[in-house]
Amino acid sequence: MRTRDWLCRQVATGGDQRILKHACKLDDLENDRGVGLDRRRRMAREAKVRRFAVWVSEIGGPAPLLFVGLLEVGLLAGSVAPTIVAATTMAAIPYAAMFGLARVGKVSDRFVKERSQRMPILAAVLVVFVLGAVSVMLMGAPARLLLVIAVAIAALVIVMAVTLAWKISVHATLAAFFAGLQVYLFGAWGALGFVLLAIVLWSRRALNAHTVAQLLAGSALGVTLLGTYVWLASTFG
């Protein structure tokens, strides 16, 4: 600052051109530093937003939400062992497998962002789902738990069909279904699930994982599946 003040006094008193040029260089240097600092701050903010979006995508991902949903429905129906088996085979095991595949580089990421990689993964998950459904059925699982499993299998089949030509958001599908399920199970307090839905949708868009159309389509599918579950549970549960 002292050097800069001295230069300013020289310029004010008609100093030579060398001093003027040096002052201009200092101004340019400070401007560059200012731009660089602003850029670093902006990049730091963007990094924080991205980390939060990744965290939301993890917590509000298909497997964690399905795991919680299965536990809620099964335990509220008074079924412990079948519920644990269902949550483990249909949510915990697929999630662990995806984590492992992503870690060794077999897939783009834990959520299989690349549509071309999705079909074999979804087919494998479908096999696990069916095996889990058969297991809990043989264990005498309650009707409402079996209905959630049936809806999950139906959702997977629909997603597989859509994936042949397009990439629908599985995050949005499960988050919308989960939000509606909370209202069905817990009444007004369950509406907080829609806050989670909104944050999950934001996170997938912030990470550029899906377009708005893919997120809306996934949400619509989730709401449709929830309506189907409620009707079936009211009729047969």
- Report residues of the chain scoring pLDDT below 70: 1-36, 110, 237
- Written as six digits, the tokens of 90 are 């249909």
Q: Is 135 exposed, middle or buried (0-12, 13-18, 19+ CB in 10 A)?
A: middle
Three-state SS at 69: helix
Please tell me the predicted confidence (pLDDT) of residue 90: 94
Please tell me the predicted confidence (pLDDT) of residue 194: 96
Please tell me the predicted confidence (pLDDT) of residue 92: 94
Q: 């599985």: which residue's tokens?
A: 170
Tens-digit pLDDT profile for residues 69-86 = 999 999 999 999 999 999
Q: In this structure, are residues 57 and 200 in contact, taking their beta carbons and an 8 Å threshold?
A: yes
Please, what's the b/e burial string for 216-237 (b: 16 or more CB within 10 A of its CB; e: otherwise)?
bbbbebbbbbbebbbebbeeee
- Written as six digits, the tokens of 198 are 């909104």
Report which DSSP code applies to 191.
Answer: G
Q: Is 19 exposed, middle or buried (0-12, 13-18, 19+ CB in 10 A)?
A: middle
pTM of the predicted structure, to 2 decimals: 0.80
d(C-alpha 36, C-alpha 30), whole Å: 10
Please tell me the predicted confidence (pLDDT) of residue 34: 57
Please state the separation of Cα 169 from the chain's center in Å: 9
Please tell me the predicted confidence (pLDDT) of residue 195: 96
Please tell me the predicted confidence (pLDDT) of residue 32: 54
d(C-alpha 136, C-alpha 79), whole Å: 10
Show Cβ contacts of residue 185 under 8 Å, excluding neighbours closer than 6 positions: 72, 73, 76
Please state the separation of Cα 138 from the chain's center in Å: 33
Q: Where are the alpha helices (DSSP H) in the chain?
A: 2-12, 17-59, 62-76, 81-87, 93-103, 118-138, 143-163, 170-186, 193-206, 212-236
